[in-house]
Structure 1
Amino acid sequence: MGALMEYEPIIGLEVHAQLLTRSKIFCGCSTTFGALPNTHTCPVCLGMPGSLPVLNENVVEFTIRMALATHCQIAAISQFARKNYFYPDLPKGYQISQYELPLAEKGWVEIETQRGPQRIRINRIHMEEDAGKLIHDEFQPVSHVDFNRTGVPLIEIVSEPDLRTPEDAASYLKMLRETLRYLEICDGNMEEGSMRCDANISLRPVGTERLGTKTELKNMNSFRNVQRALEFEIRRQRALLEKGETIIQETRLWDTGRNTTVSMRGKEEAHDYRYFPDPDLVAIVIDEQWIERVRGSLPELPDAKRERFMRDYELPPYDAQVLTSSKALADYFEAAVQRFAQPKLVSNWIMSELLRELKKDEKDIEGCQVTPQQLAELLELIDKDIISGKIAKSVFQEMYTTGRSAAGIIDDQGLKQVKDESAIESVIDEVLAENNKEVELFRGGKEKLFGFFVGQVMKKTKGKANPKLVNEILRKKL
């Protein structure tokens, strides 16, 4: 029996990002999340006869920002099209999107993979309106429709099939989310649906160029679920191919409860939607002056910030990666370093103490009660030997819980370090008198017992004795 054929996955992602405009793409209705059903609607977004769409300029501006950040070519003229399909949450019977003339094409982003840095090409970025939302009744066989989301502006970012592993797909998604958040055009919240991902995946024999039959995966609301759905689909397709069976081109849903993909429907092709230019909307003309104005307003992006953090603050790549994972966290770090100019120490405290607590409470840095200035003040107190590193950790816990300053907590709880040499010497004498046997063993060559004596002194002083003085006096005494 011959060896089994090796297959490689070919993965492309379609990412929808909800833009952070105050009003919808073609009308003045609010885009605020969580309002009562059907309260943010009007004749335009409900598709009433005689109503006409008017394009929100901020949507175009935000899309240009993302196009520039991902090295896309921006079209001088782009056009909206009608994508026709019938679904209960689509009141007009069509979605206004872009088809033949998208706003941006031929871009790329770079991600880190196990094979080193990889450039992932972006086929296109286009604007479109969102559909409504179906709410299924738990107690009776009916569904309700909430049209608040109808007409909320989206951009769709379509990659080329350049991804080769589920891990690469998760890295690419994280990179897009970081970029969207840095640009402040999308909050990237996959759980609330403001960033959504569909994946196209096929397998082909290693060494061949021809693409296999693909399936489209939907209903993945986290990076982890995208990765797990792709891993399952790779196993499913490989098993079929090894048995000589055919892959069916279809749309499949990820079932989080059972950790499997399940068939939803046969995959539509573009011609099924009968695209044609929207007669109610004129072409969008973007000149170089507009592009350059937007380019001038772009913030420092994640890759550039990482490079600067490694260069200017002499941080290792891992620290720079963690600290720039969100703009708010990077700003927090820089504000702390401005007050306490020891970047690596600030980085260590943020990555260990601060991020651990935030993760435990499922909070972002914006929800942290400890300000960058308060963290810097705490590190200054350690640096000046006012408190020990160990006591600083318990002080930090109190700061995190209450939002109080380090100095106030230290004063209230009497936590300042004991620097009085005679007081420390007196405690050391007590420890040595109580541990005659260990003293003899130490003097007989058992050097490791030194740590035992330090520990006993710190215990008696409740951690307040200055460690440097304890070590110096203890050495002399022994």
Structure 2
Amino acid sequence: MLDLAAEKPAPEPRVIAGEKHDWELVIGMEVHAQVASNAKLFSGASTRFGAEPNANVAFVDAGMPGMLPVINEICVAQTVRTGLGLKAEIHLKSAFDRKNYFYPDLPQGYQISQLYHPIVGEGEVLVEMPDGTARQVRIERIHLEQDAGKSIHDMDPAMSFVDLNRTGVALMEIVSRPDIRGPEEAAAYVTKLRQIMRYLGTCDGNMQNGNLRADVNVSVCRAGSYERYQETQDFSHLGTRCEIKNMNSLRFIQAAIDYEARRQIALLERGESVIQETRLYDPDKGETRSMRSKEEAHDYRYFPDPDLLPLEIEQEWVDDIASALPELPDVKKARFIESFGLSDYDASVLTADTASATFFEAVVAKSGNGKVSANWVINDLFGRLKKDEREIEDSPVSPDQLGGIIRLIEAGDISGKIAKDLFEIVYTEGGDPAEIVEARGMRQVTDTGAIETAVDKIIAANPAQVEKAKANPKLAGWFVGQVMKATGGKANPKAVNEVVSAKLGL
């Protein structure tokens, strides 16, 4: 199996030239992923998106007195599954803490989280860039916690409303080390996490619905300081960080990081200090703005939740989850490259999501040719689906149909040009490719006699062109084109080339 990480160089650090110094950008991220579960973390209330406000609220979610939390085993299993997918350490014993703060959409007055004893420890993820470079981003921890509700301010200018449907929904907070070095890497990191979790089925990754969002910690340091941090693991080399909250767009993540880095550089070059704080990104203005000073753990008065015993799980249970893990993106990509001879790019496109990978493998099972199948899936099918704004799950052409078209090409029954026409018929009308070819007389002409007759007619009608082709053999292609035109594109191109060359004495 190919080791993708070993074969790719690390991307160069993002260096930003200031007026006085060169600066390096350092980024750490806290990605909040909603656990794929039908019920919330500590109640049986539904997690269905799009319900009427406050329709999915249990008594414990609303903070009613005397209501006790009961942990959802599915949420625990999904978090363990995610940890295993990120090659992380699974802690057999973890514990929940209360993070205390007051806000209208937090009716309990605290959030149940895991500060001191998270369920998942250190892991890593390989982040690949479009230029072929890759970086290993270290995962510090993954902990389970409750989501808060949602405050709504735009329904009535004089009032604010609270929707508690999200309150108590299980989140996995995936905390990275400060290993990310640029806006593009940050977006690629979130994309890779989303891809892995979708493969695992632990989070749907829907950023538009708020099911995946990120807090981005940005700092800048003088060029060369990050190298000293790597040697010493002393965070003082990295500069003061600011956290940009609740980013739910890859494009906005990149824009916010770029703006924030330049803002901090401008401060430092004026001789001012960067204040550690929480900021929000305004996409309309393209800038970050201060939200509040950055809180530390002691500001939230964390303490063990008295209503929840420490969570203890068995190694055998973890092993059972591990044994049922699907093939993950990096492994699948390496297999596609090795087994089907695909390029790195093609394998990346086909493994971007499970639906595409599954579709491709089903096409190969029918066609028997991996490289040709990849070309058809990526260029013809994906191109047409994108044009029609359709997803692979809604493809009018099934894997069996597309594989059937490719088999007809491989068998010499149809030419590439005929295959394009056949694909369009199957896409718009459906049907079995082989039956369509027979019913519509689309089978390729392979009879040498018929091809020779067509070539003889064209040679006889174009003596001047014959002389030119004999003087310059490259011009023989004109005769091939004329034969293909005369036969409606049904003649076997290879056979036509051979006959034309023989007739012209080339």
Query: Structure 1-normalised TM-score?
Result: 0.92
2:198 to 158, 181, 184: 181
Q: 1:273 to 1:357 in 2, by over 3 A?
A: farther
Of the structure 1 ranges 44-53 and 180-189, higher mean CA displacement relative to structure 2 is found in 44-53
Partner residue of 2:276? 249
Alignment of 1:400-411 (within 5 A): 400-411=427-438
Alignment of 1:276-355 (within 5 A): 276-355=303-382
Q: Given the alignment of the two structures, is residue 202 of structure 1 paired with residue 228 of structure 2, yes or no?
A: no
- One-letter code of the match for 1:183? L
Q: Aligned to 1:318, what secondary structure does the other structure show?
A: helix
1:225-281 alpha-carbon deviations (Å, 9 max, x no partner): 222221222222222222223222222222333333233332222222222211111
1:185-212 alpha-carbon deviations (Å, 9 max, x no partner): 1111212221111110100112234221
Of the structure 1 ranges 411-420 and 171-180, higher mean CA displacement relative to structure 2 is found in 411-420
Shift of 1:380: 0.4
**Unmatched tracts of structure 1, length 5 or more:** none
Q: Tell me the matched-pair count.
A: 476
Q: Given the alignment of the two structures, is residue 57 of structure 1 paired with residue 83 of structure 2, yes or no?
A: no
Shift of 1:65: 0.9
Of the structure 1 ranges 87-96 and 52-61, higher mean CA displacement relative to structure 2 is found in 87-96
1:382 to 402, 409, 417: 409
Question: Distance between the aligned counterparts of 1:291 and 1:100, measured in 2?
Answer: 21
Question: Distance between the aligned counterparts of 2:208 and 2:258, measured in 1?
Answer: 21
Alignment of 1:90-109 (within 5 A): 90-109=106-125
Alignment of 1:21-420 (within 5 A): 21-113=37-129, 116-137=133-154, 140-208=157-225, 209=229, 210-411=237-438, 413-420=440-447
1:384-422 alpha-carbon deviations (Å, 9 max, x no partner): 222211221232233334443323443454322233444
1:27-59 alpha-carbon deviations (Å, 9 max, x no partner): 111112222222222212222122211100011
- One-letter code of the match for 2:321? V
- One-letter code of the match for 2:93? I
Partner residue of 1:446? 472
Q: Given the alignment of the two structures, is residue 13 of structure 1 paired with residue 29 of structure 2, yes or no?
A: yes
Of the structure 1 ranges 373-382 and 264-273, higher mean CA displacement relative to structure 2 is found in 264-273
Q: Aligned to 1:30, what secondary structure does the other structure show?
A: coil
Q: 1:390 to 1:252 in 2, by over 3 A?
A: farther
Q: Aligned to 2:122, what secondary structure does the other structure show?
A: strand
Q: 1:164 to 1:127 in 2, by over 3 A?
A: same
Shift of 1:138: 5.6
**Unmatched tracts of structure 2, length 5 or more:** 1-17, 230-236
Q: Aligned to 2:140, what secondary structure does the other structure show?
A: strand
Question: Distance between the aligned counterparts of 1:244 and 1:434, measured in 2?
Answer: 84
Shift of 1:60: 0.7
Question: Distance between the aligned counterparts of 2:52 and 2:435, measured in 1?
Answer: 45
Question: Distance between the aligned counterparts of 1:160 and 1:314, measured in 2?
Answer: 35
- One-letter code of the match for 1:118? R
Q: Aligned to 1:73, what secondary structure does the other structure show?
A: coil
Q: 1:38 to 1:295 in 2, by over 3 A?
A: same
Of the structure 1 ranges 38-47 and 105-114, higher mean CA displacement relative to structure 2 is found in 105-114
Give yes or no for contact 2:19–2:269 (8 Å, CA) kept in 1. Answer: no
User: Percent identity over the alignment?
Assistant: 51
Q: 1:8 to 1:323 in 2, by over 3 A?
A: same
1:50-82 alpha-carbon deviations (Å, 9 max, x no partner): 221110001111111111222222223211111
Question: Distance between the aligned counterparts of 1:3 and 1:239, measured in 2?
Answer: 9
Q: 1:413 to 1:47 in 2, by over 3 A?
A: farther
- One-letter code of the match for 1:133? K
